[in-house]
Homo-oligomer: A and B are copies of this chain.
């Protein structure tokens, strides 16, 4: 899929590499937003400690535990409950964009998993995140659902895709929507193109905020 894509076996053979595992937990749902827009699927992402959106997970040491056991351990810390991840939930492994090519010890390989669970389990995960997870308020600043619908005025998936994501999390999300048939390809494509426009408008808003802050500081 990505340039730098590896099989799980090839990735594990890279002994000097660091490994990170992340998972997209999702479910089907019949619920509708405002009784009108089908929500279709509930997908969980999180606001990370570094201010970026990403999937739950973290670093795993494959010399000490399997990738999947390590990911389950990370999930226990971040979402506060036991969600067993299996080898068959693995989607892909690839070199993380931006990792230094100069020394093998700084190579980071990211392993991505997708796991479908029941709607009641998704809700249980959301509750456990704030009620029992040790990482709440530390590595995790909050769990959010991904809106897959597009409202009349353009709200929904497009603005969501224009946020700032860690590493290749945005592509992992988009690719999973396609790969697991969670959204029609043309709908996804349209939302992604629209998100570029939202992103451009957002730059103007950000510049205005900076200008207004500078004006205020001069008043002091």
Contacts and interface: CB of A to CB of B under 8 A. Distances in A.
A14 interface: no
Classify the interface of chain A: helix, strand, loop or mixed. Answer: helix
A50 to B, nearest CB: 3
A38 interface: no
A13 interface: no
Given A49-B147, A52-B155, A143-B142, A192 B163 contact: no
Interface residues of A, number: 71
A50 B192 contact: no
Q: Output the residue of A146, A193, A202 with the most chain B CB within 10 A.
A: A202
B206 A196 contact: yes
Given A126-B130, A171-B208, A147 B1 contact: no
